[in-house]
Amino acid sequence: MGKRLFNTNYKRTVLLEEMTEYADVVLIFPRTGMDFSPTIAPPHALLSIAAPLVDAGYKVKIIDQRVDPFWDITLKKHLTPSLICAGISTMIGTQISFAIKAAQLLRNYKDGKIPIVWGGPHPSSLPEQTAESCFVDIVCVGEGEDTFLDIVNHLKSGTSIDAVSGICYRKNGRIILTPPRPFIDMEQMLPVPWQLVNVKDYIHPDLYLRGSSRNLDIGQTSRGCPYNCGFCSSAALRKRKWRPMSAQKSIEMIVSAVRRFKLTGFWLRDDEFYIDRGRANEICEGIIREKLNVHWYTSGTRVDVFNKASDEELFLLKRSGANVLKFGAESGSDRILKLMNKGICVEDTIRANIKAGKIGLIPAFALMMGFPTETFEEINMTVDLAARLKKDNPQAQFETIAPYTALPATPLFNLAIQHGLKPPGRLEGWTNWVVHEKDYVGRKLPWYGYEERMKIANLTYISILANVIPNLMEGFRNSVIRRLMKTLYKPFAVYFRWRFRKKLYGFVPELTIIRYLRKVFFMEGRHVVK
């Protein structure tokens, strides 16, 4: 509700909000440092913990810095006496930097007495170190749906949080870590409280779903992964347990979102959607039975699991609209795959790629480089694998060759320390931990020399510019701008693909401009790139 007053002196309209429903709880999702419209998904980490709060009668405000350029003004508006606490979800790296900006603003209100609760992958991996920060009051460790509701109830009533399971906090100068909380039952998951966000901000063309303009990440039908890949934090956070919703509940979730938002495509963020092929087949049959007529894909598919599927099962996937599958290929070196405990070999990836091509499915591969002991010869084997995949199946895609990031609590973290890695000793030290930029001093990849680290940084950017940016052009909502940008960028894509194929990533001066533009548009100011 509001009243418009016209100021004739300044010839502008001012909207005075006379009736505002202030929040009991504010939840903040920080910027990531690379927030481009087609890559921005709903803040499901916040939506999932908000659902029980809403169900319990609390008023919740979600602030997503990625889509709100004036997030700080929005936050200040909700700094009222009714505010019980604020929650922040963050991964390692740039998100921590923007999370701290929000925490600093919160600390300036009521003498810093508003409790700030941190959660997400990084705080859950290092709860005690996170709790030592002056920007943190409580850490919600692991899945937060039940834990965060418990925290809010205690804060509202003014009772001690000592008995709350699954948290870490400071008390009388000591860090206290309470016993872990059991995982939630996926069948008891509440519906996504979509009313807490502007869903239009997250519906857009997709990198892979060509011809589908209204695509949305609708959440998860399962959590966890039973495997133990050395670079991944899932095993530590989910204890190698794969927990699915029933096929029927999954179908209901999909049907509800597609019809409510008139979607032409959707994405499921399951770590391992296809691990139970029987359940996956039931979901596909349900999508067909409901006549949704949509395109969709899921973020997690193992090549070895895919290779076990029959042609009949894969044609069912395709008929349901799943014309894209994302695979974790990771490396072109069998030695490195063994080092990371991936459980596959390069030949498995090659077979899956050819098989997908025969069925008419588009495979999108994730690739990595820069592991401890990995030589540049082995890195080049991964570059060669990318070229081989494209040659065997012209429809094959890969997003980038991402540099290895040593994540706390992962199996390879200790190996990285043995090879010279010196992890930060406090929360603020992790803000630039992800290897997006040149690692000049070797903080993140100390097992390489200076020239090798520069090559890795350049190769990362070249792979993005050669393969990802052309796909991102599909994400422009305006079709005229989309066609214009694709036409203008085409010669640059050809150039960077040539550099990629020829392995010319030692000296790439033009990347200085690209890095500067990234800093201006994604790391500073109030830019929201759509």
DSSP state of 431: T
Q: How many CB atoms lie within 10 A of CB 18?
A: 8
**pLDDT at residue 164, rounded to an integer:** 98
Q: Give the chain's domains with CATH numbers.
A: 15-177 (3.40.50.280), 458-530 (no CATH)
CA distance 363 to 348: 13
d(CA 223, CA 300): 11
SS3 for 266?
strand
Separation of alpha carbons 361 and 432, rounded Å: 37
In what helix (H) or strand (E) does residue 219 lie, and over which residues does it extend?
Answer: strand 215-219
Residue 523's pLDDT is what? 56
Contact 370, 456 (CB under 8 A): yes
Question: What are the backbone dihedrals phi and psi of residue 164, each rounded to the nearest 5 degrees, phi first?
Answer: -80, 125
d(CA 257, CA 250): 11
CA torsion sign for 311, 315, 316, 322 is positive
DSSP label at 231?
A: T
Three-state DSSP at 232 gives coil
User: What's the whole-model pTM score?
Assistant: 0.89
Rounded distance, CA 387 to CA 466, Å? 12
Q: What share of the chain is helix, strand, coil (3-state, %, to 5)?
A: 45, 15, 40
Helix (H) or strand (E) holding 158: none
Q: What is the DSSP letter of 501?
A: H
Crossing angle for the helix pair 44-55 and 145-157, to the nearest 10 degrees = 50
Using the structure block, give the residue that is written with the tokens 């097992």: 447
Q: What angle do CA 379, 380, 386 make, to 5 degrees?
A: 100
Alpha carbons 437 and 139: distance in angstroms, whole number:
29
Residues in the chain where the model's pLDDT stays below 70: 1-20, 435-438, 440, 468-482, 485, 518-530
Encode burial over 144-166: b for 16+ CB neighbours within 10 A, e otherwise: bbbbbbbbbbbbeeeeebeebeb
pLDDT number for residue 219 = 96
Per-residue pLDDT tens over the stretch 210-266: 778 899 999 999 999 999 999 998 888 888 899 999 999 999 999 999 999 999 999
Report the distance separating Cα 180 and Cα 127, nearest Å: 12
Euclidean distance between CA atoms 40 and 404, whole angstroms: 22
Q: What are 432's two structure tokens?
A: 């630039």
Q: Which residue is it, tokens 């392995």?
A: 503
